[in-house]
Structure 1
Amino acid sequence: MKNTIAILALSSFFAFSACKKKDVTENSIEKTENQKSYEFIVDSVKAQGSTKVGDSLSVTFSSKLLVFPGLKDKALLDSIYFNEKGLSDFSKTGMQKYLEEEKDKYFISMKKDDELYSDLGHVQEWFSHSNMKLKSNANDYMHIQYSAEAYIGGAHGEYGFSERVFDLKKNRKLELKDITSMPNNKLEALLMKNIDKTKGNASDADGEVKNSEMLLVEKIPASDNFYFDDKNLYFHYSPYEITAYAAGDIVIPVSWEELKGTLNEEFKERMKIK
């Protein structure tokens, strides 16, 4: 059943506020910070609805996708919509149709799995929500945050985030090796050192519980779930990925100064890193 609900293995909205990154307004026309001659157009489509699938159960679906009319490279678009396996028409009309079909499929699948809710015992509301948000577009690097959450019974729901940065000059997703040549073991050491630089989400009777106290792993992997600004490279971890659920999602910063001597020269020049 859980396979019918898309959950991205993916940080906290609070962490992004701490990073002081400004969201890009949707349904607007934006220019990149280096004043390109072209206009970068952002639009969106959304499908939502709810239905009753049993005497004790209602389910809700909502999904939102960004639309980029000015982007035409198919490989780039496939990478941007990596989680939408059946999507091939990237026009606004095509994407709206796709989301409506996904909503209908979700409701049908829930109604078929009646064994899941035949004896719930009390009234419940289950849901599946997903979202795309354009976080920044600077120096031809476009950062999109993908989020998803779902509840299908139990003590709590599930949620996660995925961060992707796209190089609009080269029409592809940016990889960690495009930014730094630092070996993984050294990056892992920096991540472990910096884990408490982000305020923890968990607390007990004595107050805040540090992120390092909630770790489930001995090493923090340098994952592909990253983004950056003019000061830091950030790694984003969803609940259970490196810490207990109570810790929430965690963003760990690594400064450009800490990566000094390992930065890719082209990246360094485009980001104007001294």
Structure 2
Amino acid sequence: MKTFYKFSVLACAVLLAACQPKSDPKETQDKQQEPVVEQQQVEPTLRGETVKVQVTLPECSGNACPDFTVERLESNFSFIDQLIDQQVLNQLSHMLEVVDADKASSTVQSTEQKPNLDAQTQMYANAFIKIDEELKALSSSHQISLMIKPKILQSKGSLATVVLNSSSYLGGAHGATAQHYYNFDLKNQKQIQLNDLLLPKQKATLDKLAHDAFKVWIVDSKLANDPKEYEEAWPFQVTDNFLLGEQGLILQYGEYEIGPYVVGLPRLVIPFDQLKGVLKPEYLPQVEAPAVSTPAASTAT
């Protein structure tokens, strides 16, 4: 009887062990070897849109109504927006030459606080309308216009670039246009100037490359057969208005800077292959190393 009892207890123990759920070896192994997800650093990106600056203009109808359009940039980087706002005002000042700024500012706002962009732009809009009234008093049928508009050209990478386009016609023989480029290091949140691109002691090299590009431009544009003769009237200068294009460093000039009005807004391009050892490596295109070919196995004869 005792022997039978012992066998019964043993059989129950075996049955209980068999009923216990077994862990999946593969699942246990997966849990132990869960890969650690590495957080990749997200490259900062400039995003934004342009919005029209609100100003009040007199009611007008017809083809001769003055056209005043100024836009600003609203982006995810406030330091860029503030810089572009100031450049918009600088352009307005250059185009309209409001001389009685103190009186105009007191009209906009009597406190010492600096007026906002809309209020300051209104000051220039008033000067613009005054020009239109003076032209119409002279029986002029010209339609005067003014436009300033920023645009994001390059949103990420070594440099983010914003261009400020402007044009105006204020009743003269012809209008005026301009393109100004502003380049930014988004990671460190600062504006980058042309000299910031250069390796140490390379300013003279860049100046020579730019001068060589200027002489090529003179001949290619058929402005003169001899660049030296052309430079007697239009001396060369290196501009700080630049951007990095697909093919190289672009130096953007304004009207009358290195040529007559007929040449418009000249550009000089210095190819990247000429800028090795001149620009810092991070501003040069990243050239991928060619894949190493696997030598073919020799066939025994």
Within the candidate set 212, 223, 236, 2:239 is matched to: 223
What percent identity do the matched residue pairs reach?
A: 20
Within the candidate set 59, 69, 92, 2:66 is matched to: 59
Distance 1:198 1:142, change over 3 A: farther
SS in 1 for 2:262: helix
CA RMSD of aligned residues (A): 3.8
Deviation at 1:45, TM superposition (A): 0.5
Match of 1:44 in 2: 50
Match of 2:248 in 1: 232
SS in 2 for 1:189: helix
Match of 1:28 in 2: none
> C-alpha distance in 1, partners of 2:58/2:190?
39
- 2:222 corresponds to 1:209: yes
Instruction: Could you tell me which runs of 5 or more consecutive residues in structure 1 were left unpaired when the two chains were aligned.
Output: 1-33, 87-96, 202-207
Distance 1:111 1:262, change over 3 A: closer
> C-alpha distance in 1, partners of 2:132/2:163?
34
Deviation at 1:178, TM superposition (A): 1.9
Instruction: Could you tell me which runs of 5 or more consecutive residues in structure 2 were left unpaired when the two chains were aligned.
Output: 1-39, 91-114, 289-301
- 2:258 corresponds to 1:242: yes
CA deviations over 1:216-255 (Å, ceiling 9, x no partner): 4222x22220000353111000111111100010111112
Residue identity matched to 2:212: K
Within the candidate set 48, 63, 78, 2:82 is matched to: 78
Q: Report 1:99-138 matches (<5 A).
A: 100-101=118-119, 104-112=122-130, 116-117=134-135, 119-138=137-156
> C-alpha distance in 1, partners of 2:215/2:152?
27
Match of 2:286 in 1: 272
Within the candidate set 176, 185, 188, 1:170 is matched to: 188
Higher fraction of helix: 2
Match of 1:6 in 2: none
Contact in 2 for aligned 1:61/1:103 (Cα 8 Å) = no
- Name which one, 1 or 2, has greater alpha-carbon Rg: 2
Distance 1:114 1:131, change over 3 A: closer
Higher fraction of strand: 1
- 2:272 corresponds to 1:253: no
Match of 1:189 in 2: 208
CA deviations over 1:89-136 (Å, ceiling 9, x no partner): xxxxxxxx9665456434422444588426533311111111111111
Figure out how many residues of one structure are paired with residues of the other and give that number: 218
> C-alpha distance in 1, partners of 2:68/2:254?
22
Distance 1:249 1:174, change over 3 A: same
> C-alpha distance in 2, partners of 1:158/1:200?
25
Contact in 2 for aligned 1:230/1:273 (Cα 8 Å) = no
Residue identity matched to 1:218: P
Contact in 1 for aligned 2:210/2:270 (Cα 8 Å) = yes
Distance 1:39 1:251, change over 3 A: closer
TM-score normalised by structure 1 residue count: 0.64
TM-score normalised by structure 2 residue count: 0.59
> C-alpha distance in 2, partners of 1:77/1:102?
16
- 2:163 corresponds to 1:145: yes
> C-alpha distance in 1, partners of 2:255/2:46?
34
Deviation at 1:180, TM superposition (A): 1.4
